Structure 1
Amino acid sequence: MPELPEVETVRRTLIPLIEGKTIAKVVLWYPKIVATDHQEFVNELPGKKVLDIDRYAKYLLIRLSDDLTIVSHLRMEGKYHLTTPDAPKDKHDHVEFIFTDGTALRYNDVRKFGRMQLILTGTERETTGIGKLGYEPNSPEFTAAYLVQGLSRKQKNIKNTLLDQTVVAGLGNIYVDEVLWRTKIHPLSVAKKIPAAKVRELHDNINQIIAEAIRLRGTTVHTYLDANGEVGGFQNKLQVYGHVGEPCPVCGTKFEKIKVNGRGTTFCPHCQVRY
């Protein structure tokens, strides 16, 4: 699943491809991708101009004229690519935005899990899943004190807590494994039992790893590509994710892998302390 750094990279690569363009027509090959009214989606968008693209956590917010926003969540394998309306349709292309300049933006999703919503700009927190999210890394609101307070109320393990998005928004399986290893916290540690000093260290490592992953244009482990069809670079920096059975770079102990709420979780049994 594209996590915050990957979605941010998609945003940055998508802006120069579609900003300033006017939508002429919308084609829904698989209408279920659109979670709001399908007919309204098709009827309202022609004539609207793409003003900008924002992002919150794993959500893209495509800002349009007349105070409309397309909220797009890529889920597991969603991708955007620029083409032309007469280009052959890939079997996994599900939505097409045709622009007045003769180009077209297609949304491709092998698993069909991604979703789009058409909303009034500014109502994201009232009308979409964004309203349930915590603060995202490297934002002014995501302070060490905020994370200490947030984890102090969580009885479940830290891996699930960081994945559920209500305390920290934008982290997925890859980056949670990385930040827990760097902070030396066992993934099954009870969140509220982790010492405040260790939580502050976790806060700093979350910020640093996410910033570095954004700088390297995300992580391509399975199928992630940006809007230009290019892979990320952070997969070359992964220290623990995908390295089960290999020696820990710090202590030499072999990394182990367990299932935490159904998610594969790699960790060092020596370095990472269970609280």
Structure 2
Amino acid sequence: MEKKRMPELPEVETIRRDLEECLQGAEFRELRIADPSVLRERQVDPATIAGRSLRAVRRRGKYLVLDVGATQLVIHLRMTGRILPAGHAALPVGAEAVRRRQQFRFRLATDRGEWIFFDTRRFGTLDLVQDADAWFDERGLAPDPLLDQAAARQWFLVHAAGGRAIKTVLLDQQVACGVGNIYADEALFRTRLHPETAADVLDYAQRGALFSAAVQVMKEAIARRGTTTSDYLDLNGNPGVFRRYLNVYRRAGLNCRVCGQPIQRIVVSGRGTHYCPTCQAM
């Protein structure tokens, strides 16, 4: 069985677009917290969303934001979180729903029906804040590489430095917002960089090329509705199909599509990492 993984920027952006299509302009009637552990920060009372319309479904990195004006719901899906309409085929029913009731972590009642944050592993989070952008900035989250590419690029050029392995740097959300294990491996392959290369060895041109590769591979993944390797499904229950286009991620032992040598798997800072030892020699 494959290890579960967290949705990365392309998967979260796919979900954001699906939710926007379904919920943009919907009137929120009630937010019911079923599992108190889901709620981390509470700058505003959940009752304040009643009667407010959803202005926008936004995203920064791997976070979703439901913007209802004075109250903004910041949602992190983590490993298995999904936002689904009540009655969705993926939701348990009857006695099974009772047994797994804590996995129905919160419910949003709207004039378009009820929506449920269903999370089997219960790692997902909800924060109720007044200003999501300020909240992200306070936590040092880097600029989003798709929403403000120029700012994110400059940020990466400055902060992708030091003695850490470049793979580790790519996974740091304070340096490369939204990038996770899949797209870090793929960007490193495209730029022919060994994942254990120290970041401070790279010059500005190499950092810039790596940033561009990460942006490009994530855009390509969004066009194919993300990458499914374990749990991720879109709002309609369909898997992302970008997996078939991956060059190295989870292809250990298979031949490199460029040179024909076997892809290898190593561990970098505790994360499984896939690369071609020929194309990405140290």
Q: Deviations over 1:52-102 (max 9, x none)?
A: 11111111110114x2110111111111111259x937423211111234x
Query: 1:23 and 2:34 equivalent?
Result: no
Alpha-carbon spacing, 1:130–1:115, altered in 2? closer, same or farther (3 Å): farther
Alignment map for 1:60-71 (pairs within 5 Å)? 60-65=64-69, 67-71=70-74
Query: 1:9 and 2:14 equivalent?
Result: yes
Unaligned segments of structure 2, at least 5 residues: 1-5
Alpha-carbon spacing, 1:97–1:241, altered in 2? closer, same or farther (3 Å): same
Report the Cα offset of residue 6 of structure 1: 0.6
Query: 1:252 and 2:271 equivalent?
Result: no
Q: Secondary structure at the match of 2:50?
A: coil
Alpha-carbon spacing, 1:144–1:68, altered in 2? closer, same or farther (3 Å): closer
Q: Secondary structure at the match of 2:25?
A: coil
Match of 2:107 in 1: 96
Larger mean CA deviation between 182-191 and 138-147 belongs to 138-147
Larger mean CA deviation between 90-99 and 175-184 belongs to 90-99
Report the Cα offset of residue 27 of structure 1: 2.3
Distance 2:138 2:233 in 1: 23
In the alignment, residue 99 of structure 1 is paired with which amino acid?
Answer: T
Distance 2:79 2:29 in 1: 29
Q: Secondary structure at the match of 1:166?
A: coil
Counterpart pick for 1:80 among 80, 83, 86 = 83
Distance 1:237 1:246 in 2: 14
Distance 1:6 1:79 in 2: 11
In the alignment, residue 12 of structure 2 is paired with which amino acid?
Answer: V
Unaligned segments of structure 1, at least 5 residues: none
- TM-score calculated relative to the size of structure 1: 0.89
In the alignment, residue 53 of structure 1 is paired with which amino acid?
Answer: V
Match of 1:56 in 2: 60
Distance 1:49 1:145 in 2: 36
Q: Secondary structure at the match of 1:79?
A: strand
4+ residue segments displaced more than 4 Å: 142-146
Query: 1:232 and 2:251 equivalent?
Result: no
Match of 2:159 in 1: 150
Distance 1:40 1:197 in 2: 48
Percent of residue pairs identical:
33
Counterpart pick for 2:206 among 174, 182, 198 = 198
Report the Cα offset of residue 114 of structure 1: 0.8
Q: Is the 8 A contact 2:43 2:129 kept in 1?
A: no
Distance 1:140 1:172 in 2: 17
Distance 1:246 1:144 in 2: 33
Distance 1:206 1:45 in 2: 37
Alignment map for 1:183-222 (pairs within 5 Å)? 183-222=191-230
Report the Cα offset of residue 38 of structure 1: 10
Distance 1:96 1:88 in 2: 15
In the alignment, residue 230 of structure 1 is paired with which amino acid?
Answer: N
Distance 2:263 2:132 in 1: 40
Report the Cα offset of residue 206 of structure 1: 1.3
In the alignment, residue 57 of structure 1 is paired with which amino acid?
Answer: G
Distance 1:125 1:143 in 2: 15
Match of 2:186 in 1: 178
Alpha-carbon spacing, 1:11–1:114, altered in 2? closer, same or farther (3 Å): same
Q: Is the 8 A contact 1:124 1:130 kept in 2?
A: no
In the alignment, residue 199 of structure 2 is paired with which amino acid?
Answer: A
Aligned residues: 267
Q: Deviations over 1:120-177 (max 9, x none)?
A: 1xx22443477411223243334655433322x3221101101011121100001101
Distance 1:143 1:81 in 2: 31
